Amino acid sequence: GESVGLHLPTLSVQEGDNSIINCAYSNSASDYFIWYKQESGKGPQFIIDIRSNMDKRQGQRVTVLLNKTVKHLSLQIAATQPGDSAVYFCAENINTGTASKLTFGTGTRLQVTL
Amino acid sequence: DAGVTQSPTHLIKTRGQHVTLRCSPISGHKSVSWYQQVLGQGPQFIFQYYEKEERGRGNFPDRFSARQFPNYSSELNVNALLLGDSALYLCASSLRGMNTEAFFGQGTRLTVV
């Protein structure tokens, strides 16, 4: 498959450890935020979202934390597995009145070592 | 049920040419959004269509245009191709235009030489 990003920040984690991926966003008007996983040669895959009026949301093995004061978002993956290796993007959703558009961050490559 | 399908998967064009990329949304989805993903970066919003009307446009030149057909499939057209248009073009479909419900296709890899 084709590499999604060759020069992205990389996080290396041992299998079984927890991963924390961070993201800074810019627009205070964003009404919700989404984390995506993108594997080589594929489109982004929805992981979890969080509304702007929340500060924490949990899914299966994943937790998203939102700190609106410093405009920071994080994705925590528990018990990281080799299948979690991918590029992770945060995206902020902005409604422009008639459209909903996503503004993506630059991405972080997660490498899971055995 | 098929997911979002895009065609072609790969394409090589020469500078100055035009290109048409196609997207078939998930059955029942009425909204399609297009994104451009340059290597090493996150996707950038180009267009959103809902019920065959353009609902939003990103910061792209007029060389980029799109349309949505009665069956909700969509085309993205790019004229007068530049080397910088080389990218992965992604299509996302959703039922009503809500991005929390959106599914992305695998994309079309466009290379301009």
Q: Which pLDDT tens digit goes with each residue over A96-106?
A: 878 889 999 98
* Integer Cα distance of B69 and A56 in angstroms: 40
Question: Nearest-CA neighbor of B66 among B107, B58, B74, B26?
Answer: B74
Burial B4-24 (b: 16+ CB within 10 A, else e): bbbeeeeeebeeeeebebebb
Q: Please give the share of chain A, as a percent, with pLDDT higher than 70.
A: 94
Query: Lowest-confidence range among A7-16, A55-64, B19-28?
Result: A7-16
Q: Are B56 and A100 in contact (CB under 8 A)?
A: yes
* C-alpha to C-alpha distance for B100 and B94, rounded to whole angstroms: 8
B56:A98 CB<8 A: yes
Cβ pair B43:A98 closer than 8 A: no
Which residues on neighbouring strands pair with residue A38, listed in sequence order? A87
Asked if residues A74 and A23 have their Cβ atoms less than 8 Å apart, the reply is yes
Residues B104/B4, Cβ–Cβ less than 8 Å:
yes
pLDDT tens digits, residue range B6-49?
Answer: 999 999 999 999 999 999 999 999 999 999 999 989 999 999 99
- Over the range A7-26, which residues count as b (16 or more CB within 10 Å of their CB) and which as e? ebeebebeeeeebebebebe
Residue in B40, B42, B100 nearest the CB of A32: B100
Average pLDDT for residues A42-65, to the nearest whole number? 96
Whether the Cβ atoms of residue B48 and residue B33 lie closer than 8 Å to each other: yes
Closest of A69, A66, A79 to residue A32, by C-alpha = A66
Which B residues, 34 through 63, put their C-beta within 8 Å of a C-beta on chain A? 35, 37, 39-45, 48, 50, 55-58
Query: What pLDDT does residue B1 have?
Result: 56
Using pLDDT thresholds of 50, 70 and 90, give the confidence band for residue A5: very low
In contact, A31 and A52? CB cutoff 8 Å: yes
Chain B touched by A105 (CB under 8 Å) = yes
Q: Give backbone dihedrals phi and psi of A39, rounded to 5 degrees, phi first.
A: -90, 160
Cβ atoms within 10 Å of B106's Cβ, excluding its own: 16
- Chain A's closest residue to B97, CA to CA, is A100
Which chain B residue is nearest to residue A89, measuring alpha carbons? Answer: B42
- The Cα of A97 is separated from the nearest Cα of chain B by a number of Å equal to 9
**Which two structure tokens, joined as six digits, stand for B53?**
């009307």
List all residues 6 or more positions away from A38 whose beta carbon is below 8 Å from its beta carbon.
A4, A44, A45, A86, A87, A88, A89, A107
pLDDT band at A4 (very low <50, low <70, confident <90, very high): very low
- For B78-112, how does the pLDDT look when each residue is reduced to its tens digit (9 = 90+)? 999 999 999 999 999 999 888 888 899 999 999 99
